[in-house]
Amino acid sequence: MSRTRSPSPNADAPVQGLKRRQHLVLRAEVASLRRESERGGNNNVFGPLATITYMRKIRPVMNRHPSILVVMYGLLACVNVQSQRFHGGLTSHWALPAAHDPSRPGISDCSERYFEQPIDHFAYHPENNLEGLTFQQRYFVCGELWWGGLGAPIFFYTGNEADVTLYLNASGLMWENAPEFGALLVFAEHRYYGKSQPLQPFTAHKMDYLSSEQALADYARLIIALKTELNSPDSPVIAFGGSYGGMLASWWRLLYPHLVSGAIAGSAPVLDFEPEVGEEGIESFSYIVTRDASPEGGSNAYCADNVRAAWPVIKDLAASVTGRQELTERFRICQGALATAEDVDLLLGWLQSAWAYMAMGNYPFPSTYVLNGRGTLPAWPVRVACEFLNFPTTLSSNVTLLEGLRNAVSVYYNYSRPDGEAPIQCFDLAAGVNKESQMVEDHWTYQFCTEMFMPSGSDGIRDMFWPAPWDANAQSDACFRRFGVHPRRTWAVTMYGGLKALETASNIVFSNGLLDPWSGTGVLHNISDTVVALTLKEGAHHLDLMFSTSDDPEEVKEVRKTELAHIARWVMEAGEATEWAKEKRTVKDMRKMLRTV
């Protein structure tokens, strides 16, 4: 989830052991299918639905030799497929590969499609002055090669506040386990993000239709249309999502239980809303960031104290023209950003944001995730940043303190950039870490100012920041100045029911890493036998949803096994009577999986 800086009140994987004959068998099958299609006058044999149909003929070969899937990806990548249009507003074409680890499946293994959605699902008479009554929602379909056919499961990622390809390329839990379940993968983009843009240019009035309710209705219409297109109305749908996407996954299960059989909700702070969130929850984000920067979080013993000691030094310097110029030069801030003493709030917020995002991305491996795929943070970035502040506070000068803080936040702001991207000359305090992140931040701030009004504050004692108690009225006024709207402060609980709704719900797994600052307002204890909480002591922002790596702690491996056991139960309960279950081995395998976890 994006950390809102609130409006200020002031190459392919190697194929191991694959025999030459297996290559030849597969190539022969593909060539035969292609000739069969061409005889029928259809050159788009490997369109999404055609692929599903024809791959059923090859599946017996693949079941005997799963590694053939890797080769199949390579073969399909060479096929020239033109765009196809399906009825019901479904449009498809093969997506261009995006930057992702080539040893893993990702965007190049999917078909990119567009689905026509109404701008407003809840108005019978849309306003006459809308530029268009519909928009094209982007989504991706992946895994046609192993999909089990009619009645087989669908794993559906409920896209959140970014380009959906970010989640597509990162959601290893879905990719790594879909073949075992025979599940089709669907990654749906949230309206107003990525390429799913209803109305432009963006004004407050045109953003009225940016809401979680509208997004969930988008997903509902999309999955109904897709199941109709596949002629598979009984396919159980498992929702996946991380952060805001995890909130959406759980809310989708709550609002549309007839469409969603279960939900995996990673790092979903669903309890972060008035009137349920208390003072401890409001200050939990800042406290957990601080814990990450302490020995309890694996960092050195001096880091948090030095960060806390830097704030009064910065405020003192900001009081004078010469001091503001020193801050500008020391932190490489663009000239003019600190024109007045009040502008120090921008600098403080900018510095605080770096620690917040590094805490969210505090993974045991290098990651592009919190940078929206546009750069790489090192493994354990908070620990890396803290090494620049690894000295006794009492022995440090103001210069040493500020230089240490500058170098620490540069781990985030001066991240490793993609080849060809120009280095940063100076930092713009009002801009995101990159242009992708800036658009996300702008739109997410609008959501914060309407329905995602999630309180946050700091006391400067338990945390390493400065005292900044939550002031809902001041934040509401700031939202009105920026967007002309006041937040509906309790609407999320009114709409989705908060804790009481979860007590009546079923088939939701909430996972939280305790290094993740959002975990403080997540579900950390089982609510019932079927609404359960899983925690990771050394987990950051929805680590369990990521691809497996050799650096994964043992606890994340166990959490993933438990999640798969719940998915197996949901699929078995929803799908046992389907034709897919009767003729496939999957339900038997599901029972086996339940026994072994």
Widest distance between CA atoms in the chain: 81
Please, are residues 425 and 244 in contact by the beta-carbon 8 Å criterion?
no
Provide the pLDDT for residue 28.
Answer: 36
pLDDT per residue as tens digits for the range 111-167: 999 999 999 999 877 665 565 689 999 999 999 888 888 889 999 999 999 999 999
Ramachandran angles phi, psi of 114, nearest 5°: -135, 140
For 186-224, letters b (16+ CB in 10 Å) and e give bbbbbbbbbebebbeebeeebbbbbbbbbbbbbbbbbbe
Over the stretch 527-548, which tens digit does the pLDDT of each residue have? 999 999 999 999 999 999 999 9
DSSP 44: -
The pLDDT value given to residue 414: 83
Q: What is the CA radius of gyration of the chain?
A: 25
Model confidence pLDDT, tens digit, residues 200-254: 766 777 889 999 999 999 999 999 999 999 999 999 999 999 999 999 999 999 9
Contact 74, 29 (CB under 8 A): no
Report whether pLDDT(98) > 80: no
Least confident of 163-167, 174-178, 191-195, 371-375: 371-375
Please, what's the b/e burial string for 243-267 (b: 16 or more CB within 10 A of its CB; e: otherwise)?
A: bbbbbbbbbbbbbbeebbbbbbbbb
- How sure is the predictor about 436, in pLDDT bands with cuts at 50, 70 and 90? low
pLDDT of residue 47: 36
Mapped onto helix, strand or coil, the DSSP state of residue 578 is coil
- As a whole number, the mean pLDDT across the chain is 81
As a whole number, mean pLDDT of residues 500-517 equals 97
> How do 154-158 and 237-242 pair as beta strands?
parallel
523-527: average pLDDT: 98
Given a cut of 60, whether residue 90 has pLDDT beyond it is no
pLDDT band at 46 (very low <50, low <70, confident <90, very high): very low
Cα–Cα distance for residue pair 545/524, rounded to 1 Å: 17
Q: What's the angle, vertex CA 297, arms to CA 403 and CA 306, rounded to 5?
A: 25
Give the chain's domains with CATH numbers: 21-82 (no CATH), 84-273+497-596 (3.40.50.1820), 279-481 (1.20.120.980)
Mean pLDDT along residues 27-40? 39
pLDDT of 550 over the 80 cut: yes
Query: Pick from 366, 365, 372, 153: which is nearest to 243 by CA?
Result: 372
Q: Which is more confident, 586 or 108?
A: 108
d(CA 158, CA 177): 17
Give residue 302's pLDDT band: very low, low, confident or very high (50, 70, 90): very high
Cβ burial 497-534 (10 Å sphere, 16+ → b, else e): bbeebbeebbbbbbbbbbbbbbbbbbbeeebeeebbeb
Q: Which residue has the higher pLDDT, 1 or 133?
A: 133
pLDDT, greater one: 226 or 591: 226
What positions carry a catalytic annotation?
243, 516, 541
The model carries a pTM of 0.81
